Amino acid sequence: MLSAFKLPVQDCRCNRQNVSSKMVNTMSKNNYDYAADLHIYAAHAHTAAAAAHHRGDHEAAEELSSKAQEYSMAASEKTFEVAKQIQVPMRA
C-alpha cells in the first residue's frame, strides 16, 4: 500500500482546517486503492483527534472525530462495493 506514504501519520499537527484537504488531494482513483486510502485517512484522523484531545483542544478533537467517522463509513461502503466485484471461484 504505497498510498499510505503520501500523508505521514506521525505529523499530528493537522488541524480541522487542513486535515481534509490534505487527505482528499492524495486520494487515488482505483476503487481498491480508494477504499484502502479511506481506511488509512480514517486512522490518521482518529490519531489527530486523539492528539487534539490530549492537547485539550476539544473542539478540534470533536470535529476531527466526526471527519474520522465520515472516512470510516465511506471506507466501509467502498470496501463492500469492491468485495461485491470480486469473483469468487466455485468449489468443486
Query: Would the CA dihedral through 35, 13, 47, 17 be positive or negative?
Result: negative
Average pLDDT over residues 6-22: 50
The 3-state DSSP composition of the chain as helix, strand, coil percent (nearest 5) reads 70, 0, 30
pLDDT for residue 27 is more than 50: no
pLDDT of residue 83: 85
C-alpha distance from residue 15 to each of 7, 41, 54, 71 (Å): 14, 14, 13, 16
pTM exceeding 0.85: no
Q: Which stretches of 12-57 are DSSP H helices?
A: 19-24, 31-55
58-85 vs 31-55: helix crossing angle, rounded to 10: 160
